[in-house]
């Protein structure tokens, strides 16, 4: 069984799709804990599904290292083999990433290496990209540069706004992240 923690910062939609896929498709996986760096809607959604949750607010710590130590302690306490980042809006330090080397997976709303960082949808529109999409990758100390696991794309439409494109890409995210989890659980995918 794949035991994994999920780190979130917002609405938690990717976390809920992972949780629902485990149930709906009988995936041999378990979300051990949902951790957020602030109270957010995703924590309520996780609690509604009976998932253990922990809010580890960055404001309660003097340094990033102390904050990340608390997150690492929660991950270890729940015996999580993997860490899935699902809209976690903080950059993890190299020390934290190295502690969990090969175990942290991120979903990013662009076809990496294009549009690393934030505002990916507007940047794709501004650059008249033909396609846009989502990437699932291993996390390394360099921002959005880890080895690629899977990508899904869609064409940009002339009518796209940043919001409409974000909504279409989010639909891809909700399909590809459970697909990666299923691949890990069935040992079709190895990291």
**Please, which residues bridge with residue 148 across strands?**
137
Phi, psi at 97, each rounded to 5°: -60, -45
| Chain position carrying tokens 């020390």 | 95
Phi, psi of 147 (to 5 degrees): -55, 140
For residues 4 and 34, the answer to whether their CB atoms sit within 8 Å is: no
Q: 105 is written with which tokens?
A: 């997976």
CA distance 2 to 63: 31
Q: Active site includes 108?
A: yes
Residue in 67, 76, 78, 108 annotated catalytic: 108
Active site residues: 108
């Amino acid at each position: 069984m794949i035991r994994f923690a999920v780190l979130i910062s917002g609405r938690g939609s990717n976390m809920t799709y992972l949780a629902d896929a485990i149930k709906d498709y009988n995936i041999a996986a378990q979300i051990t804990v949902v951790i957020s760096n602030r109270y957010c809607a995703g924590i309520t959604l996780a609690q509604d599904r009976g998932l253990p949750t922990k809010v580890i607010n960055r404001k309660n710590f003097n340094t990033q290292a102390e904050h990340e130590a608390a997150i690492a302690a929660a991950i270890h306490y729940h015996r999580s083999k993997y860490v899935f980042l699902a809209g976690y809006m903080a950059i993890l330090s190299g020390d934290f990433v190295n502690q969990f080397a090969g175990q942290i997976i991120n979903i990013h709303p662009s076809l990496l290496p294009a549009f690393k960082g934030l505002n990916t949808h507007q940047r794709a529109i501004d650059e008249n990209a033909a396609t846009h999409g989502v990437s699932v990758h291993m996390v390394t100390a360099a921002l959005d540069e880890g080895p690629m696991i899977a990508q899904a794309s869609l064409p940009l439409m002339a009518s796209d706004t940043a919001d409409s494109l974000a909504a279409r890409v989010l639909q891809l995210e909700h399909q590809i992240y459970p697909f990666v989890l299923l691949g890990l659980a069935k040992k079709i995918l190895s990291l």
